[in-house]
Structure formats: structure tokens, C-alpha cells
Amino acid sequence: MSLTEIQPSKHPNLDCIGASIYTVLKYLNFSALETAWKQCGAIYLKTQDSPYGDVNGQYMRTVAELTWIHNIRVEGQAEPENDLFLANIQERLERDIPTIVLCNMAELPYNPYYQDLPEMHSIIVTGREGNQLLIVDDYYRYKGLLPIEQFLLASNSSYRDAGTGEWYPLHNRSFELVLSDSLHPTHDQLLEAVRSNLSVLEGRCDINQIKRELDVPDDVNIEVGLKSLDPFMKDVETFLASGVEITDDHLDILNHSLISMAQTRAMYADVLQVISEKYESFADLAEQYRSIGHQWKITTNMILKAFDSNRSDMVHRVLQKISSIKTQEFEAVTSTREVLERVGVVV
């Protein structure tokens, strides 16, 4: 397959950056796509002046996750100078390397949030025709030509972080993926990911290390483990009780949290399924996490409905749903500990 033949991938369990990475890895013939995303944690990040914070299923940056076990390197940079930025993209195209670019979603005219939702998004540049770039957007299933002028408006502006509401400049941020010569990871290597995830879910980890890994500012409070769901739900309940109007921004933060939990569980189930090829006891655990991921997905649909209905009532219903999911999450942790001990992994 040539670079310009790349088509958008159809992967329901990945966010925009994950989907872009998935498509590039597939183009590079990476043989372990089902285990590229291994994180399944729970952390709660809250700034001092916010009514409630952001729950995240990831506890390390995507760059670190790709390096972990698979040794996939992410090479990129921010290049504020547009001419140099375009030259870098052209150089990659000449090497038949797709470029992943981070951009402002509100500046991409083909998506439904054009000029409306200035959040960070990712696209892949796969070719150039005169003053237009050929791009692939996996999240919106789009492939087409984008005028370079419009492309630069999207890549060299600022975006609003969906989790915190803060604004950040992009400065033409792009990167490519470099694969190592290592073989497909063994089942025993993947057991390390399971053990690591368990330590985070149980809160048996170095919080300072996670703060350094995620580059968490000093004024942000962090809770790690499934126990972090309690302060999250309590803070949201307190916010609802205050009677403050629930804005779209408030719902966006909730949606960001729920999507992260749903996606990490769904992808983690694939890792467990691969491990079950050697250790059969992991098959039931894979189904357990697949079910949990589906339950988190239901909460994201509920939040989307909240944009057009009784917001306070719907958020209350989401919290009730999370309470039941939390029970399932703790049950899965108990099951994980049991299957790890059964195959001789010290937890």
C-alpha cells in the first residue's frame, strides 16, 4: 500500500490520537496492534479552583505507553515557523512516512464542530497536491484535500483542553512513529502490563512518579486508584447541589473522563485476550473488562443526551451508573490478582 492509499481506520474504542496512531502502525505493518494500548488505570486530577476534576484511565503519556514493551519511538517537535513545518512534512512524505499533526478541531471545515469546538484533534498528512495537503482523519472517517492555508490555521493556533478548560498553543506540533526491530511481545512480557495496571488500580504506586510522568502542575491535586472515583463523584454531587448552572464546558469535562475510562477498558480487554492464548484463565478476565468498557460507554451516551435534556437529572443518573460500575471494577481487580497469582506472577 502506498502512502496516498491510506484510508481512515474504523476503530470504535480509540480517541482521535489513538486512532491516528493505529492507522500509522497498520501502514507500517506493525504486528502487535491489539496490544499497543496497555494502560488500564484510574487517576483523578483536580485544580484548586475547579468544582470537580477529570478522571482518566491512563496513568502515563501515550509516548511512554508506546515505548513500554513495544519500543515504538515517537519522534516529533513543534515548529512555529510555517515554512519549516511544511518542509518537515514534505521531507517525511518523500520518505513515505505519514505525519501525525495535532490541530484545533474548530479550524477543520469538514467536521461537525467547525468554528464551534476549539479542542485538540489529530489528523494524518499522507500527500501533497500543489497548495493542498492530502489528510486522513480517522475519528471522522474523512479523507480529502485540505488547502495549506486552512491546514496552518488548524495546526498553528490554540486549543482548549477538554479536561481542564485551559487554553494551550499548538505551534505546528507533529510527529512520526519509528518501529524497533524487536519481535512481537511475548505473553509473559504482557503480564508485566497487567501487573503494573493492577498496582495503579489498587493505589499501590508512586504518585510522585505518575505526577512527573504526566507533568502535573503543583496546584493540581491527584488521587490514584479506583478509590479516586469516590472524590470524583463526591465533587460532582457537591457541584450539582450548589445549584450552579451546568454549562457545556462542565459536560465536556465529564464526557472527557467517561470516554477515557471506556476506551482504556475496551483496549485492555484485547491485551488480556492475547494473553489468554497461553493462559486460559485470562479469557474470563478479558470478557469482564470488555463488559466494564461497555458500561462506561453507556455513561458517555448519557452525558451526550444531557446536552439536550434536563442536565442536572441526567448527571445524577450518570453518577448512579458509575456507582454500579465501580463495584464491577473492584470485582475485576480481585479477579486480576487471582489470575496473576495462579500463573506465578508476584503482585
How does pLDDT run along the chain (347 residues), one tens digit per residue?
899 999 998 787 888 899 999 999 999 999 899 999 999 999 999 988 889 999 999 999 999 999 999 999 999 999 999 999 999 999 999 999 999 999 999 999 998 878 887 889 999 999 999 999 999 999 899 999 999 999 999 999 988 876 667 788 999 999 999 998 766 889 999 999 999 999 999 999 988 888 888 888 888 899 999 999 999 999 999 999 999 999 988 998 899 899 999 999 999 999 999 999 999 999 999 999 999 999 999 999 999 999 888 999 999 999 999 999 999 999 999 999 999 999 999 99
**How far, rounded to the nearest angstrom, does the alpha carbon of residue 167 sit from its chain's CA centroid?**
19
CA dihedral 306, 310, 312, 315 (to 10 degrees): -30
Q: What pLDDT score was predicted for residue 309?
A: 83
pLDDT number for residue 64: 94
Look up residue 71 and give its amino acid.
Answer: N
Cβ-based neighbour number of residue 208 at 10 Å: 10
DSSP character string of 208-260: HHHHHHHT--TTEEEEESGGGHHHHHHHHHHHHHTT----HHHHHHHHHHHHH
Q: What is the pLDDT of residue 164?
A: 65
Indicate the SS3 state at residue 41: coil
Per-residue pLDDT, 48:
84
3-state DSSP assignment of residue 173? strand
- Residue 303 has a pLDDT of 93
Beta strand extents in the chain (DSSP E only): 43-47, 54-56, 73-78, 99-104, 120-129, 132-137, 142-147, 158-160, 167-169, 173-178, 220-224
The model's pTM is 0.90
Q: Are 140 and 113 in contact (CB under 8 A)?
A: no
- The per-residue pLDDT for 8 is 93
CA angle centred on 56, ends 210 and 277, rounded to 5°: 90
d(CA 52, CA 26): 38
